[in-house]
């Protein structure tokens, strides 16, 4: 075990003594100089500001609970809508239509992050008429009203960009922008899906090695990137303009770290470039990763109905006890199997599958775990001098058979109290598990993501049985005595290449309402 620990801790050492500069310069056209791409003291100041304004925002915990429940409500509303459309189009007899849940999850999660950072109450997906968000709102009425209602007359100053409106033009301006952002949403989501691929393609091309000005002057890829960025910047700009006082974006706007005014062709001069870059970063980081992780988790649960049933029973027992439909952050601590399912899904499908850093000092690491006795044989190590670019392939680390028992299996049980747990938790401690990265540049949104994923998944699984029609067909054949030699692992989806990964060609599932859902 000691040897194994030393091996996995090499990634920890690389991440501690390293910088993103200049390895992430190809992200700069996308996230500019936001916290994701900034470096040195500028990055430190930005990270401190974002953490302060986003995570230490008063009432964040309550808002997060409301919003995570609302992700599920939006998703449930989308499913109901899709079923209705199918019924009206004459396919009503088809009891269990197959639907691509990825765009549904993308729309649900963008609503969450948009509202969290702007406090502007826009709904991007259709909600259920019996939606629990309404009940939830009742529970946190005062919080919700103060943060999310249309501003009343004395709240005029709440907009960041306030050109002294009268009551009347204030309302219409506000509603116009709300309308604009809803219209822009489909194009925004298509564009962020595309930009993930362009940025990755760039990092794999000759342009990555050439000066940035050459890329901008001569590369057709740059022109495509610019075209793709137009709706992304516009969406972020509207988010900044719609942000209400006290919201993370409004608070960031007041901080030195984010208030430099730089003019540009795509933004009004009132909004600093720094704020716009941060809005682009947070909207993407908060939406894409959560939607992708929820998609992969539903994918795995559909291929493992017995694990899905165990999660459903666990949720049901907690909900029955407290007689509510909404899930609170506290309740998630009583859902250990759900927690294990999410951890295991992020082990098999870390949605940011690799990260890159430039080393700031020389390091020596063992080249293989069996060779980890470096003191005995110094030749079996590899030295990496300062300035080396090191890529940590998180996906491979999470599936390394020398670090994990049965690495390719979906085994949530490994995170529960068993022999496996003892071993695998040891690996976590020593850096063999890092879906949120580790070190100073780890994910700052991790505390939010943990709550969002748990609440949204619990609500969705409590509402629906999630089925993969391919797996169902396989089961039927198996019952009929036809063995085609395929198992759940063979039905796993490929990852669509991008700097974050979604299931390739979407995720087509059947969602069947649970008879016993509360």
Residues of the binding site: 443
- Nearest distance from residue 125's CB to ligand HEM, in Å? 18
- Nearest distance from residue 65's CB to ligand HEM, in Å? 15
**Which of the stretches 236-244, 263-271, 436-444, 455-463 binds ligand HEM when contact is defined by CB under 6 A?**
436-444
Rounded CA gap, 483 and 474, in Å?
8
Which value, to the nearest 10 degrees, does the dihedral of the CA atoms of residues 2, 3, 4, 6 take? 90
Residues 446-465 that bind ligand HEM (CB under 6 A): 448-449
Interface residue with ligand HEM among 435, 451, 457, 459 (CB under 6 A) is: 435
Q: How many residues bind ligand HEM (CB under 6 A)?
A: 23
Binding site per annotation, positions for heme: 443
Interface residue with ligand HEM among 355, 403, 411, 501 (CB under 6 A) is: 355
Interface residue with ligand HEM among 105, 110, 160, 282 (CB under 6 A) is: 282
Q: Return the number of the residue (174 or 349) whose C-beta is nearest ligand HEM.
A: 349
**Which of the stretches 81-89, 175-183, 279-287, 315-323 binds ligand HEM when contact is defined by CB under 6 A?**
279-287
Interface residue with ligand HEM among 7, 26, 36, 258 (CB under 6 A) is: 36
- Which phi and psi (to 5°) does residue 510 adopt? -105, 135
Is the sign of the CA dihedral 83, 84, 87, 91 positive or negative? negative
118 is a site residue for ligand HEM (CB under 6 A): no
- Nearest distance from residue 282's CB to ligand HEM, in Å? 5
444 is a site residue for ligand HEM (CB under 6 A): yes
Q: Return the number of the residue (366 or 435) whose C-beta is nearest ligand HEM.
A: 435
Interface residue with ligand HEM among 5, 28, 44, 47 (CB under 6 A) is: 47
- Nearest distance from residue 18's CB to ligand HEM, in Å? 10
**Which of the stretches 135-143, 283-291, 479-487, 503-511 binds ligand HEM when contact is defined by CB under 6 A?**
283-291
200 is a site residue for ligand HEM (CB under 6 A): no
In a 10 Å sphere around its CB, with 0-12 CB exposed, 13-18 middle and 19+ buried, how is residue 448 labelled?
buried
In a 10 Å sphere around its CB, with 0-12 CB exposed, 13-18 middle and 19+ buried, how is residue 495 labelled?
middle
Rounded CA gap, 416 and 484, in Å?
33
106 is a site residue for ligand HEM (CB under 6 A): no
The edge-to-edge listing of strands for the beta sheet with 98-100 is 98-100, 508-513, 464-467
- Nearest distance from residue 515's CB to ligand HEM, in Å? 31
Interface residue with ligand HEM among 35, 66, 192, 460 (CB under 6 A) is: 35
Q: Return the number of the residue (449 or 455) whose C-beta is nearest ligand HEM.
A: 449
Name which of 436, 442, 448 is nearest 398 in CA terms.
436
- Nearest distance from residue 113's CB to ligand HEM, in Å? 6
395 is a site residue for ligand HEM (CB under 6 A): no
Rounded CA gap, 411 and 180, in Å?
45
- Nearest distance from residue 346's CB to ligand HEM, in Å? 6
Cβ–Cβ < 8 Å for 124, 73: no
Rounded CA gap, 466 and 308, in Å?
8
- Closest-by-Cβ residue to ligand HEM is 445
Rounded CA gap, 217 and 231, in Å?
22
Rounded CA gap, 208 and 174, in Å?
42
332 is a site residue for ligand HEM (CB under 6 A): no
**Which of the stretches 153-161, 251-259, 285-293, 308-316 binds ligand HEM when contact is defined by CB under 6 A?**
285-293
- Tell me the helices (H) and strands (E) count for the chain, helix number first: 19, 10
Within its chain, how far is the Cα of 186 from the centroid?
18
Q: Return the number of the residue (148 or 296) whose C-beta is nearest ligand HEM.
A: 296
Long-range pairs for 55-63: beta carbons < 8 A, 24 or more residues apart: 55/444, 55/447, 55/448, 57/246, 57/247, 57/248, 57/251, 58/246, 59/143, 59/147, 60/116, 61/329, 62/140, 62/143, 63/115, 63/116, 63/143, 63/147
Place of tokens 């054949």: 477
Radius of gyration of the chain (CA): 24
Rounded CA gap, 341 and 346, in Å?
9
Interface residue with ligand HEM among 191, 202, 228, 290 (CB under 6 A) is: 290
45 is a site residue for ligand HEM (CB under 6 A): no
Rounded CA gap, 263 and 512, in Å?
52
Query: Helical H runs in 204-349?
Result: 212-218, 220-242, 248-253, 273-303, 305-322, 329-332, 336-348
Q: Return the number of the residue (352 or 363) whose C-beta is nearest ligand HEM.
A: 352
- Nearest distance from residue 1's CB to ligand HEM, in Å? 26
- Nearest distance from residue 436's CB to ligand HEM, in Å? 5
Where does this chain bind ligand HEM (CB under 6 A)? Answer: 35-36, 47, 113, 281-282, 285-286, 289-290, 293, 351-352, 355, 435-437, 441, 443-445, 448-449
């Amino acid at each position: 075990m000691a040897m194994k620990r030393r091996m996995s801790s090499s990634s920890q050492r690389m991440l501690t003594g390293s910088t993103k500069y200049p390895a992430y310069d190809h992200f700069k056209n996308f996230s500019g100089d936001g916290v994701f791409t900034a470096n040195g003291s500028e990055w430190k100041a930005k990270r401190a500001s974002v953490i302060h304004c986003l995570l230490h925002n008063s009432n964040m915990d309550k808002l997060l609970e409301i919003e995570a429940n609302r992700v599920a409500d939006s998703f449930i509303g989308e499913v109901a809508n899709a079923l209705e459309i199918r019924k009206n189009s004459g396919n009503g007899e088809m009891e269990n239509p197959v639907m691509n849940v990825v765009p549904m999850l993308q729309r649900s999660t963008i609503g969450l992050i948009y509202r969290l950072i702007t406090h502007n109450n826009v709904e991007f997906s259709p909600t259920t008429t019996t939606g629990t968000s309404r009940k939830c709102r009742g529970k946190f009425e005062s919080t919700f009203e103060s943060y999310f209602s249309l501003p009343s007359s004395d709240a005029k100053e709440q907009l960041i960009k306030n050109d002294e409106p009268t009551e009347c033009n204030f309302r219409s301006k506000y509603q116009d922008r709300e309308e604009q952002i809803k219209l822009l949403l489909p194009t925004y989501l298509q564009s962020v899906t595309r930009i993930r691929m362009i940025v990755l393609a760039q990092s794999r091309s000759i342009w990555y090695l050439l000066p940035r000005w050459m890329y901008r002057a001569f590369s057709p890829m740059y022109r495509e990137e610019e075209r793709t960025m137009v709706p992304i910047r516009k969406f972020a700009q509207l988010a900044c303009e719609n942000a209400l006082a006290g919201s993370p974006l409004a608070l960031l706007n007041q901080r030195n770290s984010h208030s430099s005014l730089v003019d540009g062709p795509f933004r009004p001069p009132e909004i600093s470039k720094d704020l716009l870059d941060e809005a682009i970063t947070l909207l993407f980081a908060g939406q894409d990763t959560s939607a992708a992780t929820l998609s992969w988790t539903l994918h795995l649960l559909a291929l493992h109905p017995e694990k899905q049933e165990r999660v459903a029973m666990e949720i049901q027992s907690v909900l029955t006890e407290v007689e509510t439909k909404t899930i609170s952050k506290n309740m998630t601590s009583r859902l250990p199997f759900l927690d294990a399912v999410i951890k295991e899904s992020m082990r098999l499908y870390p949605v940011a599958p690799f990260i890159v850093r430039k080393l700031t000092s020389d390091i020596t690491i063992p080249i293989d775990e069996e060779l980890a006795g470096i003191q005995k044989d110094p030749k079996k190590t590899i030295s990496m001098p300062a300035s080396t670019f090191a890529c940590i392939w998180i996906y491979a680390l999470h599936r390394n058979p020398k670090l994990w028992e049965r690495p390719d299996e979906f085994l949530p049980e490994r995170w529960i109290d068993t022999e496996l747990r003892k071993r695998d938790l040891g690996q976590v401690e020593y850096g063999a598990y890092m879906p949120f990265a580790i070190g100073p540049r780890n994910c700052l949104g991790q505390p939010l993501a943990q709550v969002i994923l748990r609440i949204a998944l619990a609500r969705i699984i409590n509402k629906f049985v999630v089925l993969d029609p391919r797996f169902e067909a396989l089961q039927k054949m198996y019952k009929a005595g036809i063995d085609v030699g395929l198992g759940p692992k063979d039905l796993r989806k490929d990852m669509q290449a991008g700097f974050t990964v979604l299931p390739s060609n979407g995720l087509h599932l059947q969602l069947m309402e649970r008879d016993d859902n509360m």
